[in-house]
Amino acid sequence: MLKTKTLRAGITVLLLVSALLPAGCQKTPAAQEIPPDPFTTTWNLGEEKRSFSISGNSAGHMPGEQSEFLLKINNHSGVERWQGEYCILLVDTNKVVKEITHEQFDIPVGLETQQPVLIEFPEDFEGPLGLCVTVPNRGTTVTTVWVGAKTGVNAGPWPVDNICSSYLTEEGSRELAERFVRNSPTFAFDGIPNTLELVETLYPDTENAWQFVFQFESANAGYGDRTGQMVAEVITPHEAIVTVEQGEIKNGVMDGKWDMVNQRMLDEIEIQSAPIHEVEVYFMKSNPVQVGIRIHGGLPDGCTTFHNAAVNRQDNIIDIEVTIQRPAGVFCPAVYTFFDESVNLGSDFTAGETYTLNVNDYVTTFEMP
């Protein structure tokens, strides 16, 4: 009789445990059942045929855990290599929650690069966030991603800024300039790493702009990637002056004669005033409000590229000299294309006042809100 009672008690305990197991394990399957909702967001530069895209899942991310996204950069311009910087941020409706990464890119003509991006989401948080990809002074894409499942909670609006915040400091811009020198074909080919040093910092009369003067030594004479060339094996000193403005490499000149951006000798370049087709003024969502302009200009032939936009301001009159460049003495395809260049004019403006913009021979005005 005792044996039967023991058996019944064991069966009762087993049934109770079996009944409790589904309730105790329910949370994990429920989390896994959140639809991933794949997305791809693309940002294009119009006629330049260059684009950024980021893809991944917009939902189902777990607090304190990592998710993988894929960043692609395409350079189908057919004109020149595309060099620059980008940053990836998580934002809420008021601020940057987390800077995921800021990197430099250099894409030859006709190629594409792919970069996996790991993002760890904040702990003890569920709901929507903005996933931003920013190319300083060029554009920003923002995609809503959800930590946990999508709900009826309002998503956004997300702050949009065309500047990576870490590059608006002297330190961040210096790091950007140093990476530019280290990744330049001249230094990458035979630069002696422990000789690279910053010797001087210059301060142009432009907001958030610096010029950094670096010196280093190379194991051989010459510039650029000299693979397969006959080189003189002699220790060669170099000086590189790199200009960073609003988080973007504006230009780099080595020894006063080598264009580090376009990888050619400066005396082989013809520089001229750019034809301007349109100038658009826009106001950035920042505090204080910053004024930016987008310049739509022409490139008369297939070898001509954008060169520079030099700003000079006197009170309420702003003069911007926009130049383009082409290799000297070279036959180029007779095809007329366009460029779009953004310039940040800063925040030193008075509400209600009217300002005049002279962009080469294009004249327009704007009123500060």
- pLDDT value of position 321: 95
pLDDT digits (tens, 9 = 90+) for 236-282: 999 999 988 877 788 899 998 898 988 888 877 888 999 999 999 99
364 and 281 Cβ atoms separated by less than 8 Å: yes
Contact present, 296 and 340 (Cβ < 8 Å): yes
Which residue from 277, 316, 310, 313 is spatially nearest to 295, judged by alpha carbons?
277
Residue 223 confidence (pLDDT): 95
pLDDT at 15 over 50: no
The pLDDT of residue 289 is 87
Q: Residues 128-137: what's their mean pLDDT? A: 84
**pLDDT number for residue 161:** 65
Q: Above 80 in pLDDT, residue 358?
A: yes
**Residue 109's pLDDT is what?**
84
pLDDT of residue 28: 37
Where is mean pLDDT largest: 45-59, 174-188, 332-346?
Answer: 174-188
Please provide the average confidence, as pLDDT, over all residues in the chain: 83
Look at residue 293 in the predicted model and tell me its pLDDT. 94
pLDDT for res 47 = 60
pLDDT at 11: 39
- What's the whole-number mean pLDDT along residues 145-172? 77
Dist. CA 9–CA 115, nearest whole Å:
60
| Closest among 369, 320, 330 to 347, alpha carbons compared | 369
At 165, is the pLDDT very low, low, confident or very high (cuts 50, 70, 90)?
Answer: low
Residue 34 has a pLDDT of 67
CA dist 367 and 322 (Å) reads 22
Q: Residue 331: what are its φ and ψ, rounded to 5°?
A: -75, 130
- Which pLDDT value is given to residue 31? 42
β-strand partners of 73: 52, 113
pLDDT for the residue 55: 93
Indicate if the alpha-carbon torsion angle 43, 167, 295, 326 is positive or negative: negative
- Provide the terminal-to-terminal Cα distance of the chain, rounded to the nearest Å: 93
Lowest-confidence segment of 41-45, 121-125, 196-200 by average pLDDT: 41-45
Helix (H, G, I), strand (E, B) or coil at 6: helix
Q: Which tops the pLDDT comparison, 307 or 78?
A: 307
167 pLDDT band, cuts 50/70/90, is low
Say which DSSP state 191 is in.
Answer: B
Most confident of 101-105, 182-186, 250-254: 182-186
Instruction: Say how far apart CA 307 and CA 190 lie, in whole Å.
Output: 28
Tell which wins on pLDDT, 363 or 246.
363
- Is residue 321 within 8 A of residue 313, CB to CB? The reply is no
- Residue 163: per-residue pLDDT: 63
What is the rounded average pLDDT of the residues 18-41? 55
Backbone angles phi, psi at 171, to 5 degrees: -65, -45
Least confident range of 99-108, 191-200, 342-351 = 99-108
Q: Per-residue confidence at 337, pLDDT binned at 50, 70, 90?
A: confident
What percentage of the chain carries pLDDT values higher than 90?
Answer: 39
Q: Residue 30 — pLDDT band, cuts 50, 70, 90?
A: very low
Lowest-pLDDT range of 28-37, 104-113, 281-290: 28-37
Give 118: exposed, middle or buried? Use CB within 10 Å, 0-12, 13-18, 19+.
exposed
